[in-house]
Amino acid sequence: MKKYNVGVVGIGVVGTEMVRLLLRRNFPIKSLKILAKHQRIETIDGQDYPVEVTTGASFEGMDFAFFAGTEGDKGASKEFGMAAAMGGCTVIDNGDDYRMESWVPLVIPEINPGVIGQYPGLIANPNCSTIIALMALAPLYSKNKIRRIIASTYQAVSGTGAKAVSELAQQTKSWSRTEEVSSSVYPHQILFNVIPAVGSFVDHNGESTEEIKMRREIHKILGDYSIRISNTCVRVPVLNAHSISLNVEFENPIFPQEARKILHGAPGVRVVDDVMADQYPMPINASGIEDVLVGRIRKDQSVENGLALWCSGDNIWKGAALNAIQIAEYLIKRR
């Protein structure tokens, strides 16, 4: 099998998992280069990796570059990604710098790999919540057109990065010691709380940037801008794996047993739906697995042709690092 020169740009939470998953999935690596803002040594699972400072010359001879979009590296793909792609490297960007550009494919390999052109240069990874929601929605949409989606997300702190994970852990320790609980990553204490604000508020329309991203990306990936979408994105005191409540109105009647059958056959989806046995998707079970868990599938009593469902998925794996690697694997297989 042909092997490839691979680069990972950014070695925060997502970049670290990219390295782990590249090895776990036996990606055909000829050489692996880790790039970031500062030179250092990073230890991942007992193995030391040299980290080089990112420059334009870093991508010479590189076949695949995964931009992790973490560690404050938003904009790294703007600075280096386009030049790398023009130099012959396939750039897969986990950040949001290019997602909504009409000429950039926004890809979930199980759903829309066909949008990747014959000679890919730069490919965008969707937002984590978009990926997890669409893994449940797209197989149903392919059988029955969707008219409306109401989504409420329950997003883990790992989506904000390593500092947020540490903050939740520290707040837990402080509370258990009856010490003052302080916050710096979030504007409010996250322990024993939920914060209905993921991203930022750019104007006075009341939507957060995360909510805007999710709506726009679902439209682009499904190629259907007629779907009415309302979402509320919420940060919850969970370490890892996002969960999403979905209320969906379809064009034609659909029954829960039909939806379960469709989802059972969908790649990357695992149906966990036996409420009488207390079996349903939970972030504690979705963390560290590659599939998105889908359950609580039932009739939405508030609308004709409606379904309600619940899904959980690892936001760092399928919501970010894994999806990017699967894009590269698809390209290798296609070649």
Q: Which residues are catalytic?
A: 128, 242
Instruction: Say if residue 330 is exposed, middle or buried (CB neighbours under 10 Å; 0-12, 13-18, 19+).
Output: middle
Q: How far apart are CA 81 and CA 122, in angstroms?
A: 8
Q: Which two tokens stand for residue 63?
A: 């076949």
Q: How far apart are CA 179 and CA 314, in angstroms?
A: 32
229 - beta bridge partners? 149
Q: How far apart are CA 192 and CA 110, in angstroms?
A: 36
How large is the C-alpha radius of gyration of the chain? 20
Taking the mean position of all CA atoms in its chain, how far away is CA 62?
Answer: 24
Taking the mean position of all CA atoms in its chain, how far away is CA 130?
Answer: 7
Q: Which two tokens stand for residue 154?
A: 């329950």
Q: How far apart are CA 231 and CA 271, in angstroms?
A: 23
Q: How far apart are CA 335 and CA 318, in angstroms?
A: 23
Q: In what order do the strands lie in the sheet with 40-44?
A: 40-44, 47-53, 29-36, 4-9, 64-67, 90-93, 122-124
DSSP codes, 140-169: HHTTS-EEEEEEEEEE-GGGT-HHHHHHHH
Q: How far apart are CA 197 and CA 327, in angstroms?
A: 30
Consecutive H or E run containing 214: helix 209-222
